[in-house]
Amino acid sequence: MADITISERQAGDVTILDLSGKVTIGEGSVALRNAIRRLLGEGKNKILLNLGGVGYIDSSGIGELVSSFTAVNKEGGTLKLLNLTQKIQDLLAITKLLTVFDVYDTEADALASYS
């Protein structure tokens, strides 16, 4: 059984990835990496990661978020985060990555920030 499910939807020129499950070393991190690479290959570089369904993330998963952020930036795009659970917010605070990522509580606010 897959650790993570990633579904894609479009809101204007912003691609929203709804993640649910675990973003951890191995399958979860690889699935996120592949999804981001695929989007960039399709020329979609405004990406919003909805992490509301992510029940667990480890340092490898956090590293994959950073890797995704860097990869999207290199393509001239923007990657933002939506719906952080308290646990993920705590981990991003500990790692000081809340200073790196644009984080939103509502999808409407997140989408407005791209325009």
Partner 1 sequence: MPSRIESVDEAALKAEAFARENGCSEEFMSAVDLAVRESVANAVKHGNKFDESKKVEMTMNCSDEGIEITVRDFGTGFMVNDVPDPTNPENLLKVNGRGILFMRSFMDEVEWSNPPGGGIKVKMFKKTINAD
The residues that touch partner 1, with contacts defined as CB under 8 A, are 24-26, 58-60, 62-64, 66-67, 69-70, 87, 91, 94-97, 99-100
Question: 99 or 115: whose CB is closer to partner 1?
Answer: 99
Dihedral of CA atoms 56, 60, 62, 68 in degrees, nearest 10, equals: -120
Question: 26 or 106: whose CB is closer to partner 1?
Answer: 26
Provide, rounded to whole angstroms, the least separation between the CB of residue 56 and partner 1. Answer: 8
Question: 56 or 107: whose CB is closer to partner 1?
Answer: 56
Provide, rounded to whole angstroms, the least separation between the CB of residue 87 and partner 1. Answer: 8
Q: Count CA atoms within 13 Å of residue 6 on its CB side.
A: 19
Cα of first residue to Cα of last residue in the chain, in angstroms, is 38
Provide, rounded to whole angstroms, the least separation between the CB of residue 75 and partner 1. Answer: 15
Question: 92 or 111: whose CB is closer to partner 1?
Answer: 92
Q: For residue 58, report the phi and psi dihedrals to the nearest 5 degrees.
A: -115, -170
- Order of strands across the sheet with 78-82? 4-11, 14-23, 46-57, 78-82, 103-104
